[in-house]
Structure 1
């Protein structure tokens, strides 16, 4: 496509989609090497890259719709600073990082201009029924694009879920071993009498689930972006 050969500022969507592609590609590269060369807490940068790609894809789609169909952002013309409709208020796009308001605006545009899309494109623009729940799951984990970027946020309880290394119960860990469940990777702190004082275990089940959801949604929006560029901007 033409936009792949042009500087970002020459893209129809000001480069949002292309930069989203770069974040997704970087996440894919890290994810593909994770099993062979794992590093401590590597799920955090991978998750952040996917999550940021999703945010940029949504912003790209909003900009393409408004510029292509000359839809104003409230009182701001389509050629002006991009904004997002959050409830009843138009907010500058650069101040919006939550996926839910972006996704709601995204859905509104597709629904409100379904007839135009049906008449002027050759694409089936339907999305998986589960997409809304996937977005909600991601938003529940990281509503402000800070959870995967920083060790601490304003939500101390949620921060405890960030690390794949968790404080654990020594007795429960022994029970898992005796039941011949999956191997337990543990770190034990013992006192002078060899009694266990603290126990920690490595469990990356949740982090793999999050990455799976993020990767799936990022791929879906990547495909959506490619089709929008082809169908609505002539590849620009």
Structure 2
């Protein structure tokens, strides 16, 4: 496509989609190497890159719709600074980092211009029924694009499950080992009499689940971006 060879500021969507592609490509590279890497908590940068790519893909789609179809952003013209409806107000898009308001506007644009898309494009614009739930799940984990970037956020309860090493129960650990018969990575803290006083176990199940959801949504929006650029902007 033409936009791949142009400077970002010359892209129809101001480069949002191309930068989203670069974040997704970087996330894919990290994810491919994560299983063989010895780095702990490698899911955090991978998750952040996918999550940021999703945000940029949504912003790209919104800009393309508004500019191509000359849809104003509330009281701001289509060629002005992009805005997103959030409640009863239109807020500057550059100040919006939550996926939910972006996704809602993304969906409304597809719904409002369904006839145009049917009559002027050859793409099936249907999305998986689960997409809304996937967005909700991501938003519940990281609503402000900070969860995967920082060790500490305003939500201490979430922060406790961010690491792949978590506080555990010694009795529960023994029960799992006896039941599953699988090796486990565990740190036992002992007192001076060799009594176990604290237990920390490796558990990356939630990390894998989050990365899987983020990757799936990023791939879906990457395909959507390619279709929008091909169908609505002539590859620009």
Q: Indicate the TM-score class for this superposition, using the shorter chain for normalisation.
A: over 0.9
Say which SS state the counterpart of residue 97 (structure 2) adopts. coil
Q: CA deviation at 1:74?
A: 0.6
Structure 1 window deviating more from structure 2 (175-184 vs 84-93): it is 175-184
Residue by residue over 1:14-70, the C-alpha shift from the partner in whole angstroms, topping out at 9 and shown as x without a partner, is: 000000000000000000001112311101000000000000000000000000000
Asked if residue 194 in structure 1 is aligned to residue 194 in structure 2, the reply is: yes
Alignment-derived partner of residue 6 in structure 1: 6
Query: Runs of 5+ in structure 1 lacking a partner?
Result: none
For the residues of structure 2 that align with 1:104 and 1:79, how far apart are their CA atoms?
A: 21
Residue by residue over 1:147-198, the C-alpha shift from the partner in whole angstroms, topping out at 9 and shown as x without a partner, is: 0001111111111111111000011101111113432210011112111111
Residues 96-175 of structure 1 mapped to structure 2, 5 A cutoff: 96-175=96-175
For the residues of structure 1 that align with 2:75 and 2:180, how far apart are their CA atoms?
A: 64
Residue by residue over 1:61-85, the C-alpha shift from the partner in whole angstroms, topping out at 9 and shown as x without a partner, is: 0000000000000110000000111
Alignment-derived partner of residue 233 in structure 1: 233
Residue by residue over 1:177-223, the C-alpha shift from the partner in whole angstroms, topping out at 9 and shown as x without a partner, is: 11134322100111121111111000000000000000000000000
Asked if residue 209 in structure 1 is aligned to residue 206 in structure 2, the reply is: no
Alignment-derived partner of residue 183 in structure 2: 183
Say which SS state the counterpart of residue 31 (structure 1) adopts. helix
What RMSD in Å do the two structures reach over aligned CA positions?
0.7
For the residues of structure 2 that align with 1:37 and 1:13, how far apart are their CA atoms?
A: 36
* TM-score, structure 1 as length reference: 0.99
* TM-score, structure 2 as length reference: 0.99
Once superposed, which parts of structure 1, at least 4 consecutive aligned residues long, lie more than 2 Å away? 180-183
Alignment-derived partner of residue 56 in structure 1: 56
Q: CA deviation at 1:140?
A: 0.2
Structure 1 window deviating more from structure 2 (155-164 vs 219-228): it is 155-164
Say which SS state the counterpart of residue 179 (structure 1) adopts. helix
